[in-house]
Structure formats: structure tokens, C-alpha cells
Structure 1
């Protein structure tokens, strides 16, 4: 312990959830591994160490949970997010079928048509609230339909997803307040999002069909609903709102994108790098292991600080600058390796469709008011009111 720098910083205060970047810079300066004494976690704040950990699931295990609170980790053992191969591989194979790039091509026309409608509607007004009126639209309409959820549960999805993310941190007031909503979602998944009550052609139904074929256990299906609900909603909504805010703050970059639409994929990567919707997950070491020259014992819980790694000056020159010509395809906002985000192709498709159409219709964004989201597992904007200058 004597050779490992320590910090008593609290990453879960309201100010830290709003703007953690000064804290991340302090942690990166301390070393490749920092002991967070408040939660007995070993944080990896730098890019190289986080990426290496993500690529080594045998040593950095997810099977004992990937959150902070020990009780929550114990409860979630065995779900897709909290498992290792071969169990993880079997579940991910089933989950990922409708999310493969070739399947995304099938849903692209619908997503593009819906993006046309929503962008024309909000831009035509000259002012709109980005989160509820733009960013939520595709996830809450198209994606909910694709999953095939019962109508009566959809109005609660955002509340449930935010509550589930709030359990990612310590056992604080936010996590406690989230408990009833998490229980409500699990009851919905167990009793309502089941064959006979879901669209037989939807993604949820395919989970149960795979279980009938013996590919996954039947009792995994309800908790695997988490994998379609939580990642497909809040993270994509936050990513869309973050991108609009960044372009409002950097009009020169919006001009570049409007002039050259081939920059859209790079703009998406750059916005995810600079403002990562999921700042961290944790892992548990399966054996004694040296990280950046620092020895850690088997059983140590290690926090992988994605959002800090994505701003590591050792890896990205001038990392706080929003530069859509940077092309940072190696960012870690989607993770890497075995647990790379299974829905990233869908998220990219939604973001690309909206940016393409906004670029056709908007010359400038002006932020009128913004409010951060305060959540233990997510980071971004809860409210973003903008005025737009129409494109000539």
C-alpha cells in the first residue's frame, strides 16, 4: 500500500457528478493506480491501463459485479454485464443478434424516416429542448418498438433505467431512492415483458425463443431485459444531447461537419470521447497482478475510469479540445474487449441520422439553458434548451 498513491476524493458528490474532470486530472497526475480510500477501490485513471484491463477479462473479471456497492454487486452476479465467458459469451450471442451491423441496415430506413420527422418538427419551431424533444425520440419510439415491449410499461422506461443506473455507485441516498423503481422494473420484466404480452416479432421475444432452444437458461430472460432497456435509452439520449451541446459551444466544428458529412462518424467518436455518458465500471482481479508497475493483490476491486482515460493527455494531444478531425476511434466510451457495448451500432445509427438532418437544417445552435443530470452511473445533461438559426 505504501507505494500506491491514495486519495479520499468522493466521485459521487453532486459537484463531482456534474463536473468530474478536475478530479480526474488530479488522479491521473497521482499515478497509473490510485487507491480511493473512501470506497476501498483502486482507480485506473489513465488510458493505457484502462484499455489493457478491458482487453484482459481473464484477469479483470466482471463475474463479481462491475459496480461499487458490494450488496448490489452480489445481487447482479450472473447477468450479462456481470459475467465472464463462457456464460457471458452465450448470453451476449443471443442479445447481439438483432444488433449486428447487417440487422441495423434493415432498421435504417425507419430510423432515418423518424429522424426526418423529429428534426423537421423541432427545428421548425426555432427553439426546442434537446433532451425530451429530440434525443429521447428515437430511443423511446423506434427502439421500444423493436424490443417489443408492452405499451403500458413504456412510459416508465426512462424512470426505471435512470434508477438502475443510480445503483451503480455507493449505497447513498440516490441509490436508496432508486430501490422502489428498480423493484418495479424487475416485476415488470418478470410478469409483463413475457411471451404472450410482448410483440412476438420483437427482440424480447427472441430471448425466450433462444431459451426454448436451450441456448440460455429461461431464468436469465427477465434480467437480460436490462440489456435492451438501460443501454438503449439513457446512454444514447445523453450522447445525442452532449453532441448538440458541444456543437453549440464549438460553432467552428459545426461548420466543418456541415461542409463535410464524412466527418459525422468522427464527430460521434469525438463527442463520446470528450463527454462519456458512462464514466466508469469496475472489475475484480482474479490473481495478483501488476498494473503500470504497481502490484495489486487478487480480489482487489479496480475502477476503470473511462471518462478520465478518454481525456488522458498522455494519449490524446490537447484532450479537452472538441476536434472532429481528431478521429479518435480508439476511445473507450463503449468499452473494449468482451464487454464492448453490444448496442453501439444502434447508438451510432441514431446519432448519425439526427446529425445528418440537423446539418441540413441548422446553421447555429445557441444554448439558452442547461441542467446537468445527477446520477451515480451516468453523466450528461438532464435539460438543454437551445435556439437554432435555420440553414439558408
Structure 2
């Protein structure tokens, strides 16, 4: 596709260096124009806050129905996932989430999450040295979500391993994307087999989806897409947010002290974590009509565009000192959980888990410090870590 040179770039946002630290590149692209054509991947990039927010809130113009990935393989594999379906089909599918995962519906498991968080904090305080990813961030998302969905015990380990890194498949057709496909295919096969054999535990979210499919309210493929989408999103994104939060508090001890002094700041602190290190950095949409963004940028109907949560959340046009981690910022309008009909359906659960973990740790840990070099888990879409060696002091 021939695009105007004035608003194009050879930046590769999916190289190892870019995935390790994308923020200088995001700023360069934001400063260039409201949207920039990335020649390497033949896709537009939206990185400023206002255009990203507008796109997320306008599914009629920026459709997810052709997939949110950057290659046809994942868009076909996930064509029945909730995030890849627009209304009217999306409305009934999402209701299955909100009926079980809304704030009021989660009251039943809030006590369980609090108890797990308290036990986790006691364990970390006793350990002294720990891995922020494996010892803390993975604990609640894995344990709680496996129970909430109702996966049989014997498939849980396999699902977790297969789901790890599955967001790689949403990137462009690079080596990282191709390497992720065997795990993605294995995960979809395991979910399909579990569904077909009616092995989801009764009373869980999974059985609710399965029952809806068997009543004919949604197709089998849609049920499997819902289950797959929640496995991937619920694990990787919440683990990423908690991991980043621990690292940020270790790097900014004054902010940790402030949270300990004022525990009521916990909701604002978690919003700030998700703003400054958005777990999902980029998804894409397809324009259904010509979109004039000003400054000479006209995105034609049918063009695919990256809608960058990570770039928008660090846009200095909207957030003062966006590179600064400040838990009293109260960024209620951050885009880390998306927005509109495709906003994260599980964000209430993610907040519940994040608030519980950090609040429990703040009551017991006087200081968090790094005990080694953090190891990034480079991923085309999800920004996370493989390991963060840390030390906890009472």
C-alpha cells in the first residue's frame, strides 16, 4: 500500500530492543503525527492519547470484527473471541462475562482473594528474598482464575504453560509470532477437548459458558473463543501488572512508604501502575471509513491501525510528567484496561487481586529492593517479566 512519506516511518516496534524499551520510539511516533504509517509492517500507528481514546470508544469506525492481531493466522484463530466480535453478537457474549465478573458478582470471592493475599504476604515476609514474578505475581491470578473458571485439576498446569506468551501470536508475522503458534494450537485443542468432554467444573464461569452453548445461545466456537480469551488475558495481564508494580515500588521507595502511610491510596496506586506500564501495549483495529485525524493524516477505509495503549498512557499532551511514577496522580482516565465495548471484561477481578496483594504486602513489608537484574519476557503484545529477584525487609 502506497502511503505518504511525510507520515511514514521505518521504526520496528517489534524488535528485541523496541520491546525491551518501546517508550522513546512511541514518543518519536507521537511527535511525528497523530498517526504514522509503519512501512515495515504496513499498518498505521495511533499513539497519542486523544486519537487512541476516540478509536477505542467508536467500534463502528474502528472495528474489531476483522481481528485485533497483526497477522491473518491469529485473526482467524481468534475470530470467535470476545475481543474480535462487534455488536450485535458481542452484546450477548459479553453479558456472560459481566453476569459473573462484574464488581457485585465478585463479592462472593472477595474474601477468598483477601485470605490468599494475606497468606502470600506472610510467606514473602518470611522468605526475605523472592522472585516477584513466580513467588508473588503468579499466585493469585493462577489460583483464583483456575477456580473461578472451573478448570479440571489435571489440565491446569498444561493450560498455564500453553497460555504463557500466547499474545506473541497477535504480533506481526515475525519469528516470535511463528514460534508461539504450536503452543497456541495446543491450548486451543486442550480447551476444545475439555469443553467437548463436559469436564468444566459445575458452577464455574466455564460451565456457564458451556451451558449457554449447549442451550444454543452461542455457537460452540464462540464458547471456546470466550474460554481461550479469558485464559490468555487473565493470566498474562494481571501477572504483568503485579510484577511491574513490585518493580516500580522497589525503584521508588518513597512511593512505597507513601502507600504504607496512606493505604487508602491503593486504588490510585494500581491505576498508576497500569498507566505507566500497560500490560497490553498494542492491539489493532480496522477503519470502516476514511478517518481524518488532522495535520494531513487521512487513514483510508479498510486500513489496519495499531491502537497503542502503552503509547497513549505516556502521552505528555494528556498526562503531566508521564514518565514519572506517582501514586497520587489518580489517573482515572488511563487506557490500560481499554475503553468502550471492548474494555477489559475482567478488570474488576484484576483490580481486586492487585489491591489485595499490594495492600497485604504494605502492611508487612517496610522496604522492597532489587536483589538482581530483572529479566524481561519479550512479547509482541504483552509487556512483562520472566523474573525479578527482590528482597523484602520488614
Q: Which bracket does the TM-score occupy, shorter chain normalised? A: over 0.9
Partner of 1:234: 236
Match of 2:375 among 371, 374, 390: 371
Distance, in Å, in 1 between the alignment partners of 2:184 and 2:362 is 38
Counting only pairs closer than 5 Å after superposition, residues 293-312 of structure 1 correspond to structure 2 as 293=295, 294-312=297-315
Distance, in Å, in 2 between the alignment partners of 1:227 and 1:345 is 16
Partner of 1:19: 21
Partner of 2:318: 315
Q: 3-state DSSP class of the match of 1:192?
A: helix
Asked whether the equivalents of residues 80 and 221 of structure 2 are also in contact (C-alpha less than 8 Å), the reply is: no
Query: Mean alpha-carbon deviation: is it higher for 287-296 or for 117-126?
Result: 287-296
Query: Mean alpha-carbon deviation: is it higher for 1-10 or for 262-271?
Result: 1-10
Match of 1:362 among 353, 361, 365: 365
- Tell me, which stretches of 5 or more residues in structure 2 are unaligned? none
User: How many residues were matched structurally?
Assistant: 390
Aligned-pair distance for 1:292? Answer: 3.6
Partner of 1:268: 270
Distance, in Å, in 2 between the alignment partners of 1:351 and 1:4 is 43
Distance, in Å, in 1 between the alignment partners of 2:353 and 2:196 is 27
Distance, in Å, in 2 between the alignment partners of 1:150 and 1:2 is 53
The TM-score, its normalising length taken from structure 1, stands at 0.97
RMSD: 1.3
Aligned-pair distance for 1:228? Answer: 2.1
Distance, in Å, in 2 between the alignment partners of 1:36 and 1:271 is 28
Match of 1:139 among 138, 141, 144: 141
Asked whether the equivalents of residues 195 and 205 of structure 1 are also in contact (C-alpha less than 8 Å), the reply is: no
Aligned-pair distance for 1:162? Answer: 2.5
Match of 1:209 among 202, 205, 211: 211
Distance, in Å, in 1 between the alignment partners of 2:246 and 2:6 is 40
Asked whether the equivalents of residues 64 and 286 of structure 2 are also in contact (C-alpha less than 8 Å), the reply is: yes
Partner of 1:333: 336
Asked whether the equivalents of residues 195 and 208 of structure 1 are also in contact (C-alpha less than 8 Å), the reply is: no
Deviation digits for residues 93-129 of structure 1, max 9, x if unmatched?
1122210111111110000011111110121111111
- Report whether the alignment pairs 1:95 with 2:97: yes
Partner of 1:68: 70
Aligned-pair distance for 1:373? Answer: 1.1
Aligned-pair distance for 1:161? Answer: 1.7
Q: 3-state DSSP class of the match of 2:317?
A: coil
- Report whether the alignment pairs 1:166 with 2:165: no
Q: 3-state DSSP class of the match of 2:84?
A: coil
Distance, in Å, in 2 between the alignment partners of 1:381 and 1:132 is 10
Distance, in Å, in 2 between the alignment partners of 1:246 and 1:52 is 29
Deviation digits for residues 229-271 of structure 1, max 9, x if unmatched?
1111010001001001001111111111111111100000001
- Tell me, which stretches of 5 or more residues in structure 1 are unaligned? none
Partner of 2:259: 257
Q: 3-state DSSP class of the match of 2:99?
A: helix
Distance, in Å, in 1 between the alignment partners of 2:193 and 2:303 is 37
The TM-score, its normalising length taken from structure 2, stands at 0.96
